[in-house]
């Protein structure tokens, strides 16, 4: 296989990082962004009231044409509409979802997985919340899977799972080629396992994203209202520290811990979720990121999954618990 190169809300009144600003949040309707026949089930409560050097040469730009009949979105939204609820997730056994990625080659599909101790499986959901297909990853265990990303590999796309939680466990990313779904309900694939260590003390992490060239970006989860950004260069087994970012106000603890992440298609913006906030961070130069910007989203208990939609724009999110809604926050046109 071609290798890709390279926990509940307790303080609802917490403040945002000093110096941040909020993106606007307008509009009130949304069609199904995954282009399926299902209708939205509700409008989400929003959290909008909470409040470099452009040329690093480190990563290739995102210029891959997406084979979906729609032009790829090259950056984040300038403004967001209210979040709309879809689903809910139909399988009551999927009650600890902790990763999310939007498929490029399978229009209408969201890939997800369970948190620590779950089956070593990836689930393809449609926006009605139905499980369309399941991929079983053979030969590995879900010790503490925390996030999921999709990136290019060869002529297709690969799903990359972050076995990145719990600081004192072995960490790795797991890589499998994304199948072109054809009605098959179950797949069994052997992942490529890429173990890694931290340059210093090991950290707990719950955020994983991919640069356009496939380089994994790890976003750590800390108790001091910060997160560390690390990358795993091609051929390396040790992470490289890039920068630290603020994920909450000084003194904020549980609600400021980073629980999920994703990169915009053009890799200029990092989406970071915490238990109380959602931030967009300018990472045009990932070694000198901008100030986190508060972004409106659907506030959920135990939310640990978020993903940009590279085709329709906006982003998706889902929280832990049985029969949870899939929320979509789209761009204002």
Q: Are 289 and 82 in contact (CB under 8 A)?
A: no
Lowest mean pLDDT among 20-29, 75-84, 103-112, 170-179: 20-29
**Per CATH, the architecture of 42-329 is what?**
6 Propeller (2.120)
User: What pLDDT is stored for residue 312 in this prediction?
Assistant: 85
Domain boundaries defined on the chain: 42-329
User: What pLDDT is stored for residue 36 in this prediction?
Assistant: 39
pLDDT band at residue 59 using 50, 70 and 90 as cut-offs: low
Structure tokens at 110: 């969201």
Q: Which of 148, 142, 170, 172 is nearest to 161 (CA)?
A: 148
CA dist 199 and 193 (Å) reads: 19
Q: Which of 113, 87, 126, 112 is nearest to 324 (CA)?
A: 87
pLDDT band at residue 76 using 50, 70 and 90 as cut-offs: confident
**Exposure of 268 in the CB half-sphere (CA atoms within 13 A):** 11
Question: Can you tell me the mean pLDDT for 125-148?
Answer: 98
Q: Are 52 and 289 in contact (CB under 8 A)?
A: yes
Instruction: Please spell the DSSP secondary structure of 61-79, one letter per residue.
Output: ---PPPTTSSPPP-S--SS
In this model, does residue 56 exceed pLDDT 50?
A: no
CA dist 98 and 171 (Å) reads: 16
Q: Are 228 and 219 in contact (CB under 8 A)?
A: yes
In this model, does residue 58 exceed pLDDT 90?
A: no
Gyration radius from the chain CA atoms: 18
CA dist 68 and 58 (Å) reads: 28
User: What pLDDT is stored for residue 32 in this prediction?
Assistant: 62
Entry pTM: 0.83
Q: Are 103 and 150 in contact (CB under 8 A)?
A: yes
pLDDT, tens only, 221-241: 999 999 999 999 999 999 999
Structure tokens at 83: 């979040």
pLDDT band at residue 16 using 50, 70 and 90 as cut-offs: very low
Lowest mean pLDDT among 61-65, 72-76, 178-182, 269-273: 61-65
Q: What angle do CA 133, 134, 136 make, to 5 degrees?
A: 155
Compute the mean pLDDT over every residue in the chain, rounded to the nearest whole number.
84
In percent, how much of the chain has pLDDT > 70?
78
pLDDT, tens only, 257-280: 999 999 999 999 999 999 999 999
User: What pLDDT is stored for residue 264 in this prediction?
Assistant: 96
Question: Can you tell me the mean pLDDT for 41-48?
Answer: 45
pLDDT, tens only, 178-232: 999 999 999 999 999 999 999 999 999 999 999 999 999 999 999 999 999 999 9
């Amino acid at each position: 296989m071609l290798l890709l190169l390279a926990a509940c809300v307790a303080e609802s009144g917490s403040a945002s990082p000093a110096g941040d600003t909020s993106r606007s949040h307008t509009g009130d309707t949304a069609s199904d962004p995954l282009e399926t026949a299902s209708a939205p089930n509700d409008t989400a409560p929003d959290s909008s009231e909470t409040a470099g050097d452009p040329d690093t040469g480190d990563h290739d730009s995102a210029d891959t044409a997406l084979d979906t009949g729609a032009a790829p979105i090259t950056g984040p939204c300038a403004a967001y509409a209210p979040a709309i609820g879809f689903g809910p997730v139909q399988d009551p056994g999927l009650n600890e979802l902790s990763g999310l990625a939007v498929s490029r080659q399978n229009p209408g599909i969201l890939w997800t997985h369970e948190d620590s101790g779950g089956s070593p499986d990836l689930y393809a959901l449609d926006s009605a919340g139905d499980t369309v297909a399941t991929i079983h990853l053979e030969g590995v265990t879900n010790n503490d899977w925390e996030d999921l990303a999709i990136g290019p590999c060869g002529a297709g796309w690969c799903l990359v799972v972050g076995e990145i939680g719990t600081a004192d466990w072995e960490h790795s990313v797991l890589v499998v080629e994304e199948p072109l779904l054809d009605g098959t309900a179950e797949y069994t694939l052997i992942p490529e396992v890429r173990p890694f260590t931290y340059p210093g003390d090991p950290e707990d992490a719950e955020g994983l994203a991919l640069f356009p060239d496939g380089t994994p970006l790890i976003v750590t989860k800390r108790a001091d209202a910060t997160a560390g950004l690390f990358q795993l260069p091609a051929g390396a087994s040790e992470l490289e520290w890039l920068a630290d970012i603020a994920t909450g106000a000084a003194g904020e603890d549980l609600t400021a811990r980073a629980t999920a992440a994703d990169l915009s298609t053009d890799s200029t913006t990092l989406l970071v979720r915490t238990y109380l906030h959602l931030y967009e961070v300018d990472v045009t130069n990932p070694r000198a990121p901008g100030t986190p910007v508060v972004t409106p989203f659907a506030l959920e208990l135990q939310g640990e999954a978020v993903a940009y939609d590279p085709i329709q724009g906006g982003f998706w999110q889902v929280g832990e618990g049985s029969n949870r809604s899939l929320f979509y926050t789209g761009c204002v046109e």
